[in-house]
């Protein structure tokens, strides 16, 4: 969190939000995805009576993936997405891909956003699908050449891949993401959280509350048995 580039990212994020709060006053919408399963329960540990216990998140049953978006005025209408996990991976992000995310945003979120919203999201890979990606060294030499031709950048047919790729790196433009373009077309703006700063996303508090309520119900059901 204290790498210089992340410190700079954090400063830019805070300044962007401060500018909006003091000057622009655009609606701020936070979005995120999480998972939940029916077997949540609190772990036994030393604690005071006023504090919640640690949650055990090992799933013994089906896992549901949840996506939603909301602001200080509550959740965005019709934005709730819930579907059953098809993955055996520990990482729930495997259940959400770029296609599903863009479909959710297009059909269930964007049509119901307040006008000229700032949409805050993290840097999950499916949030950052690049539509102007330049070729890399893993591409064929012909693909590197084709990219240079499209950009009207001079090269010799005899030049090797490393030489071509070095030219490409020097001529790449900043990345353009599919979700940024979608929101821009509807007069919204994406604001990305600095890496490792989920605490700056208030929707994380809602996920914690939802999981806590499931755990409380599981405790109550166990006590009644």
**What are 197-217's pLDDT values in tens digits?**
999 999 999 998 888 888 888
Q: What is the dihedral of CA 33, 191, 106, 86, to 10 degrees?
A: -20
Q: What are the tens digits of pLDDT across the range 131-154?
A: 999 999 999 999 999 999 999 999
pLDDT score, position 208: 87
Percentage of the chain modeled with pLDDT above 90: 69
**C-alpha angle 164-170-171 in degrees, rounded to nearest 5:** 90
CB 109 within 8 A of CB 89: no
Distances 203 to 125, 186, 214 between C-alpha atoms, Å: 19, 23, 17
Which residues, 6 or more positions from 182, have their beta carbon under 8 angstroms from its beta carbon? Answer: 102, 105, 106, 110
pLDDT at 89 over 90: no
Q: What are the tens digits of pLDDT across the range 46-80?
A: 555 666 555 555 555 678 889 999 999 999 999 99
Which tokens belong to 47? Answer: 């604690």
* Cα 15 to Cα 19: distance, rounded to the nearest angstrom: 6
Helices 161-171 and 141-150: angle between axes, nearest 10 degrees: 40
Polymer length in residues for the chain: 225
Banded pLDDT at 85 (limits 50, 70, 90): confident
pLDDT score, position 216: 82
If you average pLDDT over residues 166-191, what whole number do you get? 96
Task: For each of the domains in the chain, give its residue range(s) and CATH number, in order of start.
Answer: 4-133+175-224 (3.30.420.10)
pLDDT at 121 over 60: yes
Q: What are the tens digits of pLDDT across the range 1-51?
A: 889 999 999 999 999 999 999 999 999 999 999 888 777 766 555 555 666
Q: What is the dihedral of CA 56, 58, 61, 64, to 10 degrees?
A: 80
pLDDT score, position 70: 96
CB 167 within 8 A of CB 179: no
Alpha helices in 80-177 (DSSP H): 98-104, 141-150, 161-171
Which tokens belong to 81? Answer: 């997405």
pLDDT score, position 26: 98
Closest CA to 201 of 193, 212, 213: 193
Percentage of the chain modeled with pLDDT above 70: 86
Q: What is the mean pLDDT of the chain?
A: 88
Which tokens belong to 58? Answer: 């090992």
Let me know how many helices (H) and strands (E) the chain has, helices first.
6, 8
* Cα 204 to Cα 187: distance, rounded to the nearest angstrom: 26
Global confidence as pTM = 0.81
């Amino acid at each position: 969190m204290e790498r210089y580039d992340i410190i700079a990212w954090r400063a830019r994020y805070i300044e962007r939000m401060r500018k909006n709060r003091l000057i622009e006053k655009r609606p701020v919408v936070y979005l995120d995805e999480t998972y939940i399963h029916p077997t949540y329960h609190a772990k036994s540990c030393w604690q005071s009576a006023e504090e919640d216990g640690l949650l055990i998140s090992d799933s013994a049953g089906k896992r549901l993936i949840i996506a939603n978006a909301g602001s200080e005025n509550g959740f965005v209408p019709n934005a709730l997405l819930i579907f059953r996990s098809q993955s055996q991976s520990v990482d729930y992000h495997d259940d959400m891909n770029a296609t599903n995310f863009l479909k959710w945003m297009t059909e269930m979120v964007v049509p119901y956003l307040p006008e000229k919203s700032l949409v805050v999201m993290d840097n999950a890979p499916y949030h950052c699908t690049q539509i102007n990606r330049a070729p890399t060294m893993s591409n064929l030499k012909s693909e590197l050449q084709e990219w240079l031709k499209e950009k009207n950048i001079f090269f010799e047919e005899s030049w090797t891949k490393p030489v071509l790729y070095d030219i490409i790196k020097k001529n790449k433009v900043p990345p353009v993401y599919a979700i940024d373009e979608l929101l821009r077309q509807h007069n919204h703006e994406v604001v990305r959280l600095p890496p490792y700063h989920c605490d700056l996303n208030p929707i994380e508090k809602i996920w914690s509350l939802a999981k806590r309520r499931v755990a409380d119900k599981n405790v109550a059901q166990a006590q009644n048995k």
